[in-house]
A and B are shown apart, each in its own frame.
Chain A
Amino acid sequence: MTETIQPKLVVIITESVIETTLLTDLENLGVKGFTITDVRGRGHRGNRAGDWGIDGNIRVEIVCSEKLSRQILAFLEQKYYDNYAMITYCSNVSVIRPEKFLG
């Protein structure tokens, strides 16, 4: 039996205005799939009401290998954390067809 590797769920919550650049970056890092939702909330950059264009937030979810998850988090911290409203977190998840996400 082959050794199973733990898949990770990476969640990024950030400004919807940078969606296009963020997705290009993720693609370049090797992310093959993701899910995006429009969300709202409050943080230290104020109320992100999501009422209209620039005020909106998105939540990007990616299931991937642990190695890729570390690369994503390091890259995002270096490129976006200084100037953009962004939080990221990562957790272990159980998935059906793990090979789909670990390739």
Chain B
Amino acid sequence: MDPIILFFLLGLIAALLRSELRLPPAIYEFLSVLLLLTIGLKGGVELATQPMSTLLPQMAAVIVMGFLLPLFSFPLLLKLGRFKRADAASLAAHYGSVSVGTFAVAVAYLGHQQIEYESHMPLFVVLLEVPAIIVGIILAKGITRETNWKALAHETFLGKSIVLLLGGLLIGWAVGPSGVEPLSGLFFNTFKGVLALFLLEMGLITAQHVSSLRKYGIPLILFGLGLPLASACIGALLGSFLDLSVGGTTILATLAASASYIAVPAAIRTAVPEANPALSLAASLGITFPFNVLVGIPLYHKLALQISGTPL
């Protein structure tokens, strides 16, 4: 097992046993900033070496997936799950968007298993972050004259995770591999250590949301496990359709399966105040994040192998 997963379990168990352990909020913020910039920089450097003609069709397909995922889950949440409209839309937005933490764990998993993947994957993280937020807000509110598009655009495109990911991507793209080299001490060499600490804190946070799950009952737990599995299949099929490697397909499946817990909650909280934020976070952080980190990613790897026809 990858040691970083053990850090996640340490945080989870410590918090479930009510340990006093807490990382200062500023440290957690700093770790997030480092992770987001590192992922952005890595993607940007690769972007500089790739021809746009192969990237553009892939980018377009991934954006389309970002818009379709919430449209696929919303009716299920509304009809099968019987969630209120605002809550169903909020959940659809959370699950349509991506979790950078889960992406980082998938990258570390592939590295640990020595599996190659297309290195422009961070670009897909950026592309998948936003569409679901827009769809979720429209699903909740409809398109009315009251919709404040300017505030909405500000909220979605200038959220801190987008700014850092996109900023890192642009910097990496502008300066290229040799330009980023002097920064590698902080950003690239420490990646696993930063991720381990980040996952320790995620374990602590997850435990808080696990304990709130009892309030929402079985349907939420079923959706928290079912939606990522269904979305992973969509992501894996798209990956194979785009001719991505097994590693690349694994990552795209993981991205589709992951649920946001930073960008979407913040945007939905302001744009759809009537949606219950604790419900979406309980699903996204209490069920889906630990599921993906502990079970999902190896599973999506097997799925990618199956789809690509490589013998297990």
Q: List chain A positions with a Cβ less than 8 A from chain B.
A: 15, 17-18, 21, 38, 45-47, 49-54, 56, 82-84
A82–B86 alpha-carbon span in the complex (Å): 14
Q: Which residues of B contact A (CB under 8 A)?
A: 22, 25, 28-29, 151, 201, 204-205, 208, 212, 262, 265-266, 269-270, 273-274, 277-278, 281
- Nearest to B265 among chain A residues (CB) is A54
Q: Are B269 and A52 in contact (CB under 8 A)?
A: no
Residue pairs across A and B with Cβ atoms less than 8 A apart, 11 shown, are A17-B266, A17-B270, A18-B269, A18-B270, A52-B205, A53-B262, A53-B265, A54-B277, A82-B273, A82-B274, A83-B274
B183 to chain A, nearest CB (A): 25
In the assembled complex, which residues on chain B have CB atoms less than 8 Å from the CB atom of A52? 25, 28-29, 201, 205
Q: Which residues of A contact B205 (CB under 8 A)?
A: 51-52
Contacts A46-B278, A54-B277 aside, 9 further interface pairs with beta carbons under 8 A come to A38-B25, A47-B208, A51-B28, A51-B201, A51-B204, A53-B266, A54-B266, A54-B281, A84-B273
A51 touches B270 (CB 8 A): no
Check if B25 sits within 8 Å of A50, measured CB to CB: yes
B240 to chain A minimum Cβ distance, whole angstroms, is 35
Task: Determine whether the beta carbon of B270 is less than 8 Å from that of A21.
Answer: yes
Quick check: B25 and A56 within 8 Å, CB to CB? Answer: yes
B6 → chain A closest CB, angstroms: 21
Name A56's closest neighbour in chain B (CB-CB): B25
Name the residue among B25, B28, B151, B269 with the largest chain A CB count within 10 angstroms: B25
Report the separation of the CA atoms of residues A51 and B208 in the bound assembly, to the nearest whole angstrom.
11
**What CA separation (Å) do A53 and B281 show in the bound complex?**
12
Docked Cα-Cα span, A33 to B204, in Å, equals: 37
A83 touches B278 (CB 8 A): no
Question: What's the minimum C-beta distance from B122 to chain A, rounded to whole angstroms?
Answer: 21
A42 to B274, CA, bound (A): 21
Most buried by B among A38, A49, A56, A83: A83
Instruction: Note all chain A residues with C-beta closer than 8 A to B28.
Output: 51-52
- Residues of A with C-beta under 8 A to B208: 47, 49, 51
Task: Kindly name the residue among A47, A49, A52 whose own CB sees the greatest number of chain B CB atoms within 10 A.
Answer: A52
- For residue A38, which residues in chain B have a CB less than 8 angstroms away from its CB? 25
Q: Taking CB as reference atom, which chain A residue is nearest B155?
A: A20
Residues of B close to A46: CB separation below 8 A: 212, 278
A50's nearest neighbour on chain B, judged by CB, is: B25
Residue of A nearest to B29 (CB): A52
In the bound complex, CA of A50 to CA of B29 (Å): 12
Contact yes or no, B22 A51, CB < 8 A: yes
Interface centre among B28, B273, B278 (most CB of A within 10 A): B273
Cα of A46 to Cα of B265 in the assembled complex, Å:
17
Min distance, Cβ B190 to any Cβ of chain A, angstroms: 21
B15 CB to nearest A CB, Å: 11
A49 to B277, CA, bound (A): 15
Q: In the complex, which residues of chain B have a beta carbon less than 8 angstroms from the beta carbon of A83?
A: 273-274
